[in-house]
Amino acid sequence: MKGRILGRISLRAYSTDLKPVVSSTLLISRTPIISEELTAFESQYYKYNNELWKRLMWTFPKWYYYKDGTISEQMFKELNPAPVFNNPNVDFPNGRPEIRQGRDRRFKQELKLPKTYSTEVERADETAAESSDNLSRKIVPNSRITKADETKDLTSLERKLARTLYLVISLDGNKWSLPNFEMSREEKVPLHKLAETGFQSIGGETVNYYNVSNTPCHLHHSENKKEYFIKSHILAGKFAPVDNSTKFMWLAKEELQEYLEGAYYEDVKHLFNDV
Partner 1 sequence: MQLARSFSTCARALRSGYSTVEPVHHLVKINKASLKPGMTQLLKSKSDITAIGFKPVEISQDRVREHYNNTVKSDLMLHFYEHDAKTVEGQKFREWGTDSPYKMYRSMKKPRGKGKATRNIKPITSKNVPELQSIVINLYAPAIAEHKWLSVSARAFIAQITNVKPQLLRNRSNVIGWKIRVGRPCGCKVELKDRDMHQFLTTLTELVLPRIRTFTGLKPTTGDTHGNISMGLTEEDVKYFPEVEHFQELFPNLFGFHITFKTTARTDEQARTLISSLGFPFQK
Binding site for partner 1 (CB under 8 A): 1, 4-5, 8, 31-32, 35-36, 38, 45-46, 49-50, 52-53, 56, 64-65, 116, 135-136, 164, 212-213, 215, 217, 231, 233, 273, 275
| Least distance CB 38 / partner 1 (angstroms) | 7
Q: Which is nearer to partner 1, 14 or 117 (CB)?
A: 117
| Least distance CB 8 / partner 1 (angstroms) | 8
Q: What is the DSSP letter of 171?
A: S
| Least distance CB 224 / partner 1 (angstroms) | 25
Q: Which is nearer to partner 1, 132 or 273 (CB)?
A: 273
Q: Which is nearer to partner 1, 258 or 274 (CB)?
A: 274
Q: What is the DSSP letter of 1?
A: -
Cβ atoms of 179 and 26 closer than 8 Å: yes
| Least distance CB 210 / partner 1 (angstroms) | 9
| Least distance CB 255 / partner 1 (angstroms) | 18
Q: Which is nearer to partner 1, 198 or 216 (CB)?
A: 216
Length of the chain: 275
Residue 170 CA to residue 54 CA, distance in Å, equals 53
Cβ atoms of 193 and 26 closer than 8 Å: no
Could you tell me the CA-to-CA distances from 1 to 8, 213, 215 in Å, in that order?
A: 11, 13, 10
Reported as half-sphere exposure (CB side, CA atoms, 13 A), residue 103 has a value of 16
Measured in whole angstroms, how far is the alpha carbon of residue 274 from the centre of its chain? 12
Q: Which is nearer to partner 1, 90 or 235 (CB)?
A: 235
Which helix (H) or strand (E) segment holds residue 135: the answer is none
